[in-house]
Amino acid sequence: MYRGREGQWAFVLHRLSGVALALFLLLHVIDISLVMFGPEGPFNAFLAFYHQWPFRVGLVLVMAAVVYHAFNGLRIILMDFTEWGVKYQGALWYGALGATTAVGIPVLWKIVPEILGIA
């Protein structure tokens, strides 16, 4: 397997997170659309199903994908529209990873106790 440097990993993660988010978006719009069936419809039962811990962990992974994709997307915009973006793309990628971690830690601090039921 070819092991590239930062740029390749940035691309692979951007592609994987992007495809995952697009598929999640389709699923998410479909599940929220169940609200159209009204208060006596299947919405509450469906949501209770999704509140089980494996799905909540999945939701945390979706959020991680969002945050990485957002910060790496900003890196791509800087690479495309500034004179210096491409030159510093490696450093910018570490910046994107750092920003993802910086946002991720307080989010996990808030949500993990909810999932464990000790909030």
Partner 1 sequence: MASAPKTYQAARATYGASGELVWWVFMRISGLLLVFLVFGHLFFNNIQIDAGTIDFAYVANRLSQPGVKIYDTFLLAFAMLHGINGLRYSIEDHVRKPGRRFWTKVVVFSLAGIVFVLGTMTLWAFSYDEMGAAVRALD
List contacts with partner 1 (CB under 8 A): 15, 18-19, 21-22, 25-26, 29-30, 32-33, 35-36, 38-39, 41, 43-44, 47, 51, 56, 59, 63, 66, 70, 73-74, 76-77, 79-81, 86, 107, 110-111, 114-115, 119
Nearer to partner 1, 52 or 94 (CB): 52
Give the span between the Cα atoms of 111 and 97, in whole angstroms.
Answer: 20
b/e for 52-84, b at 16 or more Cβ within 10 A? eeeeeeebbebebbbbbbebbeebbebbeeeee
For the CB of residue 88, give the shortest distance to partner 1 in the complex, in Å: 13
Nearer to partner 1, 3 or 30 (CB): 30
Tokens 């307080």 correspond to 106
CB of 51 to partner 1, least distance (A): 5
Q: How far apart are CA 12 and CA 28, in angstroms?
A: 24
